[in-house]
Amino acid sequence: MSTPALLRPATLGPYSLKNSIVLPPLTRSRSTQPGNIANALMATYYRQRTSAGFMVTEGTQIEPRGQGYAWTPGIHSPEQVAGWRQVTDAVHAEGGIIFAQLWHVGRVSHTSLQPNGDAPVAPSAIAASGVSVFIETGPGTGTLCPPSIPRALSREEIAELVQLYAKAARNALDAGFDGVEIHCANGYLINQFISAHSNQRDDEYGGSLSNRLRFLREVTEAVAAVVGKDRLGVRFSPLFESTDEARVYLGLVEEDPRDTYLQAISLLEGIGIAYLSLAEADWDDAPALPDDFRQQVRDTFSGALIYAGKYTAERGNRVLDAGLADLIAFGRPFIANPDLPRRLAQGLPLNPLDSASMYGGTEVGYIDYPAHCD
């Protein structure tokens, strides 16, 4: 009897993975305050999930202006680097492999989250619509509110941001991470540069698609120079249908998403990064990525391909067996099931997810989900 594809060993850059199951970036808002510092609670959470072949942290902001939600961790201060070291030590003690996701929300933020109450930064001074950010209203309490109107970045600030990504990558290595993933999805800063909806600049960073991809290229090259291209991934969230849910989930649907993303992927292929992670829409009745687009991605990109979305074991095995992906990421199921690979391997029932405890809080709904008992 052959081994299901999800349980087969895989390769990602220089790493040999014990299976093809990924813990993807999942915002949980449990960092220590003040300072947005990773902590022992987070180390326990990631250690519990080291049966994944590969792990990527929740988004971790590269600078104070990169924060869009209360209590998310950063990777720009010495205290934050030391906090993340607790996490990487815990994961490595269990034989796990973990990358840090480098995150900047750009315009998807609020003045109360910004240094000195300033406006968020973005390619252009265009507010994000149809989305909410989460701000703190008191110790351990917060509320959703619309993002603030951003201000446009200057050319000089864009160059500084490229270096801030590189510095965050150096911090990630100092914290013991095995590599990094650049967050270019879900309507955040790099996605804002790529999209004609949010980028209306008239300089070398705006206008044509090649110009709108310039920031992606500069950031990716700068980070690759720090960590090595074989220890670098990029995450996209290509959407092919405009819906209310797409706006709620921060998606930017381009007029020609196929051409936009295939050109972006071709750019990354030229740089030679280790993997590309594609986050599919995962709400009920969400539009699926076209099968021919998946094949075009495979034909364009020679590195490892990770897909994340509303995957079951059966669907994940099917996509892997078809050769369209190398790894499959499971989000919400991994939150509620720290031993998810075993459950998928043995067909065991899954713990239900407590949605109320997903963001913020204590160990409840975070590290207290039980492993399956024989």
Q: What domains, with CATH codes, occur in the chain?
A: 5-357 (3.20.20.70)
Return the bridge partners of 99, or none. Answer: 56, 179
Q: What is the pTM of this model?
A: 0.97
C-alpha gyration radius of the chain: 19
Helices 291-300/257-271 angle, 10° precision: 20
Q: One-letter amino acid identity for 104?
A: H
Which whole-number Å values give the CA distances from 32 to 40, 44, 54, 140, 258, in the listed order?
Answer: 9, 14, 25, 11, 41
AA identity, residue 185:
A
For 333, which DSSP code? H
In degrees, to the nearest 5, what angle opens at C-alpha 20 toward C-alphas 257 and 296? Answer: 25
Task: Look at residues 203, 183, 181, 198 and name the one whose alpha carbon lies nearest to residue 126.
Answer: 198
Q: Encoding tokens for residue 321?
A: 């067996």
Strands 15-17, 10-12: parallel, antiparallel or unpaired by DSSP? antiparallel
Q: What is the pLDDT along the chain (374 residues), one digit of tens a residue?
A: 578 999 999 999 999 999 999 999 999 999 999 999 999 999 999 999 999 999 999 999 999 999 999 999 999 999 999 999 999 999 999 999 999 999 999 999 999 999 999 999 999 999 998 889 999 999 999 999 999 999 999 999 999 999 999 999 999 999 999 999 999 999 999 999 999 999 999 999 999 999 999 999 999 999 999 999 999 999 999 987 666 665 545 567 888 999 999 999 999 999 999 999 999 987 777 677 888 999 999 999 999 999 999 999 999 999 999 999 999 999 999 999 999 999 999 999 999 999 999 999 999 999 999 999 86
d(CA 254, CA 260): 7
pLDDT for position 75: 98
Active site (catalytic) residues = 188
Closest CA to 71 of 35, 103, 29, 101: 29
Neighbouring C-alpha atoms within 13 Å toward the C-beta of 38: 30
Nearest-angstrom CA–CA distance, 159 and 205? 11
Looking only at the bridges linking them, the beta strands covering 98-103 and 54-61 are: parallel
DSSP conformation class of 266: H
Per-residue pLDDT, 359: 95
How far, CA to CA in Å, does 77 sit from each of 16, 80, 156, 175, 193?
Answer: 31, 5, 22, 11, 26
Q: If DSSP codes are grouped into helix, strand and coil, which group holds residue 312?
A: coil
- Residue 244 near residue 284 (C-beta atoms within 8 A): no
Cα gap 227→53, rounded to integer Å: 20
- Cβ pair 101, 181 in contact under 8 A: yes
